[in-house]
Homo-oligomer: A and B are copies of this chain.
Amino acid sequence: MSKSHQEPSSEDMASDATDFSALPGGARAALEAVLMVLDVPASATDLAAGLNLTVETVEQLLLELQREYDGYTVKAPDMETASDAGFTSSPRGFELRNVAGGWRIYSRAEFADIVGAFVLEGQTARLTQAALETLAVIAYRQPVSRARVSAIRGVNVDSVVRTLTQRGLIEDSGTDPESGAILYRTTSYFLERMGIGSVAELPQISPHLPGLDGIDEFYDAGRM
C-alpha cells in the first residue's frame, strides 16, 4: 500500500535526513522494514522520499538487499557501504523483485509449489455468508470504506474484504479525501458474475434504508 509523496527534490530531503545510525540496522534495515509491509510495488523514488534518502542511495541499498536475499556475499571490497550486511551466502525464502518500475518482496519462485499448496489448502469455491453480505453492502453503497461497512454489519470486515479483493470481486477505488480511508467498489468481474452490464442495473432496494449520511446517526454514536 504505497503512497506517492509530494516530493521536493530528493536532494532537499537528503539534507534533512533521518539519523539512521541511531536505528538498529541503519538505513538498510529501515528500507527493509518498509519493503516487508508494502502491498504494492514501490518505486525507488517513492522509497527515497519516504525514507529521506537520495534516490541513488536507495537504489544501491535495494540492489544490495536483492543480492543478499539471493545469497550473494554482499561484503565485497568494492561495496564499502555494505559493511554491516553480513556474510549470508545461502538464499532466503523470499526475494526482492523489481517489477514494472516498482520493488516488492515476494516468496521465492522455487518454493511456489510448497507455498501454493499452503495457500490453497482449505480454500473453497463458495463465498461465506459474511462475505456475501459484505459484498452486497459494498455493491449498494460504493464507494465505501471498510470502517463504514464494519459499522453497517456490526463486525470487523477486514479479512472478508481481503478475500473479496483476492477474488477480484471488489477493488480499491482511491481514498476518502476526509478520512484517508481506502474506498472499495465492485469490479467488472463482479458485474460479469451477476450477469449485468453496470451497477445501475442492480435491482432497487428500499429507499428507506439508511444511506451513507443516515448511517452516521445510526452507527457512529459510540465515539472511540
Binding site for B on A (CB under 8 A): 1-3, 5, 18, 23-26, 28-40, 42, 50-51, 71, 84-94, 105-108, 110-111, 114-115, 117-122, 125, 127-128, 131, 147, 150-151, 154-156, 158-160, 162-163, 165-168, 171, 175, 180-182, 189, 219, 221-224
Residues of B within 8 A of A33 (CB): 93-94, 107-108, 111, 114-115
Residues in B with CB closer than 8 Å to A147 are: 166
Knowing A114-B50, A175-B120, A181-B121 touch, does A92 contact B25 (C-beta < 8 A)?
A: yes
Please, which residue of chain B has its CB at the minimum distance from the CB of A221?
B159
Q: Is the CB of A118 within 8 A of B42?
A: yes
A154 to chain B, nearest CB (A): 6
Q: Are A24 and B71 in contact (CB under 8 A)?
A: yes
Taking a contact as CB atoms under 8 Å apart, the answer to whether B162 and A222 are in contact is: yes
Contact A154 B166 (CB under 8 A): yes
Residues of B within 8 A of A224 (CB): 125, 127-128, 131, 160, 163, 167
- Do B86 and A118 touch across chains, with their CB atoms under 8 A apart? no
Contacts of A32 in B (CB 8 A): 92-94
B-chain residues with CB within 8 Å of residue A221 when the two chains form the complex: 159
Interface residue from B28, B36, B118, B121 paired with A38 (Cβ < 8 Å): B118
Task: Identify A168's interface contact among B93, B156, B162, CB under 8 A.
Answer: B156
Shortest distance from the beta carbon of A8 to any chain B beta carbon, whole Å? 15
Q: For A119, list chain B residues within 8 Å (CB).
A: 1, 37
Complex Cα distance, B220 from A166, in Å, reads 11
Are B107 and A159 interface neighbours, CB within 8 A? no
Extra inter-chain contacts (11) besides given A3-B118, A28-B93, A33-B108, CB under 8 Å: A2-B118, A5-B117, A33-B94, A34-B118, A36-B106, A84-B90, A85-B90, A150-B166, A150-B167, A156-B168, A162-B219
CA distance A110 to B34 in the complex (A): 12
